[in-house]
């Protein structure tokens, strides 16, 4: 039985969806909702209630024109257009709406920007990051699963790529960090093949292939997750944490003595978990003891870390 989302539009989005549908019909083009909106509506609960972003996929081109027409009819500012990538972003009320024409893209191994070409709907879906993000919704709420796996993986709470994960991560290594972020935020499991592929390619997460700005944006979202400690452990397990926050690595195995129940590394992760979900506070908790390994000493049989706040402050700023 084909699943259906009822109602297709959340109440606040009903006028937007109606206009997009009308404008697509006017232009004789096919437009579908794709990605996070569909995934989170199917998950339901708090995920569905917090939706503030919608991605619109336009088959065969015309995404930019649809974006402009929609923004104008909704009384919003003209969308920000990225001609090279065939995408447009519109801020409509409190919603972020992304329009994209079906496309395929390929990243050069030493480049931050992809080569983009027009593609079919099936090609576009298969080049996306994870199967749970490939799900499409038509305007009557019908859910389309072109990979044949998205609905199953959503039900089984699994993060897996539409293609071989090595190929998916080779195209854009940032997807490795996104995999961990989605597993953390959604409380899903990483497929073993994904874990293996990330470990193989972890060294590619960084300039010049992936800009620090893109890494920063993904890390911020992970650090605000409810189960941030699990996310940090997944980053460590997959070899990504040392690429992003190398200051934490020396704390592994550094015992602190006294009342501490964890080594310096584990203590930092636990502190981040116990901190309120504020980015600055979480980062401060995570990095507050990174100066301890460099200052560790034993005096009169007691472990000391004299000067570690000052050393750690310098390391955190780096």
Q: Which residues pair with 117 in a beta bridge?
A: 104
Q: Does the predicted TM-score (pTM) go above 0.85?
A: yes
Tell me the torsion sign for CA atoms 158, 164, 169, 172.
negative
> Max alpha carbon distance in the chain (Å)?
82
CA end-to-end span of the chain: 54
In percent, how much of the chain has pLDDT > 70?
Answer: 96
Q: Where are the domains of the chain?
A: 1-153, 246-317
pLDDT band at 83 (very low <50, low <70, confident <90, very high): confident
Q: Is the pLDDT of residue 96 over 90?
A: yes
DSSP 250-310: GGTT----TT--S-HHHHHHHHHHHS-S-HHHHHHHHHTTTTHHHH-EEETTEEE-TTHHH
Q: Looking at residues 229-238, what average pLDDT do you find?
A: 98
Of the listed ranges 2-6, 87-91, 113-117, 251-255, the one predicted with least confidence = 113-117
DSSP structural state of residue 245: -
Report the candidate in 210, 62, 42 with the shortest Cα–Cα distance to residue 136.
42
Q: Which strands make up the sheet holding 53-58, listed edge to edge?
A: 80-82, 87-92, 95-101, 53-58, 31-34, 136-137, 143-144
CATH topology of domain 1-153: Beta Polymerase; domain 2 (3.30.460)
Q: Residue 56 has what pLDDT?
A: 98
pLDDT tens column, 257-272 = 677 778 899 999 999 9
pLDDT band at 307 (very low <50, low <70, confident <90, very high): confident
What is the distance between the alpha carbons of residues 280 and 247, in angstroms, rounded to a whole number?
A: 17
Side-chain-side CA neighbours of 63 within 13 Å: the count stands at 29
What is the distance between the alpha carbons of residues 249 and 69, in angstroms, rounded to a whole number?
A: 51
Q: Is the pLDDT of residue 213 over 70?
A: yes
Q: Residues in the chain, how many?
A: 318
């Amino acid at each position: 039985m084909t699943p259906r989302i009822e109602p297709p539009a959340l109440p606040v989005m009903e006028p937007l969806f109606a206009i997009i549908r009308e404008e697509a019909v006017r232009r004789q083009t096919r437009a579908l909702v794709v990605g996070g909106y569909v995934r989170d509506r199917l998950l339901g609960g708090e995920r569905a209630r917090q939706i503030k972003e919608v991605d619109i996929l336009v088959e065969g081109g015309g995404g930019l024109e649809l974006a402009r027409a929609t923004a104008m009819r909704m009384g919003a500012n003209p969308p920000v257009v990225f001609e090279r990538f065939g995408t447009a972003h519109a801020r409509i009320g409190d919603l972020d709406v992304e329009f994209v024409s079906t496309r395929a893209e390929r990243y050069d191994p030493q480049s931050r920007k992809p080569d983009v070409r027009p593609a079919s709907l099936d090609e576009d879906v298969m080049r996306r990051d994870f199967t749970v993000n490939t799900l499409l919704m038509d305007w009557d709420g019908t859910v389309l699963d072109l990979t044949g796996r998205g609905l199953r993986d959503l039900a089984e709470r699994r993060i897996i790529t539409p293609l071989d994960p090595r190929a998916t991560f080779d195209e854009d290594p940032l997807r490795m960090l996104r995999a961990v972020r989605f597993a953390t935020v959604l409380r899903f499991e990483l497929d073993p093949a994904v874990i293996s592929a990330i470990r193989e390619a972890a060294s590619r997460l960084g300039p010049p292939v992936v800009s620090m700005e893109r890494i920063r944006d993904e890390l911020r979202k992970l650090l605000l997750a409810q189960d941030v400690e699990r996310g940090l452990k997944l980053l460590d397990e997959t070899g990504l944490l040392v690429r992003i926050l190398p200051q934490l690595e020396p704390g592994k195995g550094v015992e602190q003595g006294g009342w501490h129940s964890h080594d310096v590394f584990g203590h930092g992760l636990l502190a981040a978990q116990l901190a309120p979900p504020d980015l600055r506070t979480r980062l401060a908790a995570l990095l507050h003891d990174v100066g301890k390994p460099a200052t560790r000493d034993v005096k009169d049989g007691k472990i000391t870390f004299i000067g570690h706040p000052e050393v750690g402050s310098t390391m955190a700023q780096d």
